[in-house]
Structures are given as C-alpha cells and as structure tokens.
Amino acid sequence: QQQVKQSPQSLIVQKGGISIINCAYENTAFDYFPWYQQFPGKGPALLIAIRPDVSEKKEGRFTISFNKSAKQFSLHIMDSQPGDSATYFCAARTDVREYGNKLVFGAGTILRVKS
C-alpha cells in the first residue's frame, strides 16, 4: 500500500520544455515533503523540499507547488535540460517528534529530456 502516489511513471520532454511530476497523499500528519533526484548508478540526492504551510517553493528552475486541501504536490522543472534526465522521487514525512525522521517515497518518475 503506497502512502504517496506518484505519476507519471515515465516522462519524455523536449529540451526547453516544462516537466511536471505529480504526487498525492492521504495522511494529513505528513509535515515535510521533499523531492529527490537520482542519476543512474547513484544514490538519490535531495533536490528541493517544502512544508505544508506554504503553497510554493522555487529554487532556480525547480518549483514545488503544494495544495494542502487537495493533498497533492508537484514538481515543475522549467526550461528542462538533457542533464535533468534522471529518476525523481517525491516523499513525505510524519511528525518527526513521534515517528523519527522517516520518509515514505513515491514509486518514482523516470524523466528523459530530448535534445
């Protein structure tokens, strides 16, 4: 049972286009929502993260949009580049004071940016 549902499974975008990956959750106790980026043969690395008290966070070409009422959040990659080709995971964390710093991950999205 996946607590965080991620879509699409794979995505092909032209260079310069916008990549959009969506995630949905049910557990309203989640208090931290990171996105991880993973290149082939490497471990995942934190890309950007948001807390539920803000609706948007932008870092360079990467933006998280967060809709608390719909229990959805998404990653937007503007001006997508071939170097962005990777697997992207959304994740969520419950109250760290009660459950520790444990993350629940989505299934992942394989992004390919065509040059």
50 vs 113, which CB is nearer to another protein? 50
The residue to which tokens 């991950």 are assigned: 105
* Interaction between residue 29 and another protein (CB under 8 A): no
The candidate with the shortest Cα–Cα distance to 89, out of 35, 18, 48, 47, is 35
Near another protein by CB under 8 A: residue from 11, 24, 32, 112: 32
Q: How many residues belong to the site for another protein (CB under 8 A)? A: 23
Which span sits near another protein by CB under 8 A: 14-22, 45-53, 57-65, 73-81?
45-53
* Interaction between residue 43 and another protein (CB under 8 A): yes
User: Would you give the binding string for another protein spanning residues 82-111, x where CB under 8 A is met?
Assistant: -------x------x---xxxxxxxxx---
10 vs 14, which CB is nearer to another protein? 10
DSSP for 30-91 reads --BEEEEEE-TTS--EEEEEE-TT-SEEEETTEEEEEETTTTEEEEEESS--GGG-EEEEEE
